[in-house]
Amino acid sequence: MLLRTWGAASLLVYTQFPLLHEKGYLPKQDSRLEEPVVEFPPLKVKDLPVIHTLDPEKYYQLVAGRLKTEAKASSGLIFNSFEDLEGNALATIRQEFPIPIFPIGPYEKRFTAASSSSSLLSLSQDQSCISWLNTQATKSVVYVSFGALQH
C-alpha cells in the first residue's frame, strides 16, 4: 500500500508534469499565473508546484514516471482526502490506476508542542482519542502510524 499524505489532485498534477509542460503551463510564466489549468479545474497556473531545476523537462519525466511506477506496483493508494472534496480527481486516479483507492482524510492534526513527546516507547501513552474511537462504527477507522517522536 502507498500512503500519500497529500490530496489526490496533487498526485494527478505530478503524474501529468509532461502534459502540463507540453501545454505550456510549466515552467510557470508570470504572465500566465491567473490562467486556469483546463485539464485540472479549478486549478490555476499559480497553483501548480514550483520547480527549480536546470533541466525542467527531464525532471518532469522523472517525477511523473516514478510516481506512476510506484502507484502501479502497489496494491492500493491511501490519500489524505475524501470523496466529497476530490471526487473528480479520485475518479480519474481510479481510471488510470486499476488498484484500490482509499481516501481516508482529512488526517487529524494531532501533534503540538505539548503532545510531541508521545511515543510508542514512552511510559505513558496518549489515550485522548480512545473516547472518540469508542463512538465510531466497527471497522470505520483506519489507523496509520508514522512512527514515534522522542526528545
d(CA 2, CA 77): 5
Query: What pTM was computed for the model?
Result: 0.62
pLDDT at 38: 92
d(CA 39, CA 13): 9
In a shared domain, residues 131 and 101 = no
In a shared domain, residues 16 and 88 = yes
46 sits in the region (left: phi over 0; alpha: psi -120 to 50; else beta) called: alpha
In a shared domain, residues 29 and 83 = yes
In a shared domain, residues 26 and 73 = yes
DSSP secondary structure string for all residues of 40-62:
STT-BGGGSPP---S-HHHHHHH
Count the domains in the chain: 2
pLDDT at 100: 93
d(CA 10, CA 40): 10
In a shared domain, residues 117 and 151 = yes
pLDDT at 116: 46
In a shared domain, residues 13 and 66 = yes
CATH of the domain at 65: 3.40.50.2000
Per-residue pLDDT of the chain (151 residues; tens, 9 = 90+): 888 888 888 888 888 888 888 899 988 899 999 999 998 888 899 998 877 777 877 877 787 778 888 888 889 988 888 899 899 889 989 998 889 999 987 776 654 544 444 444 444 667 788 888 899 999 888 776 655 555 4
40 sits in the region (left: phi over 0; alpha: psi -120 to 50; else beta) called: beta
Q: Which domain holds residue 123?
A: 112-151
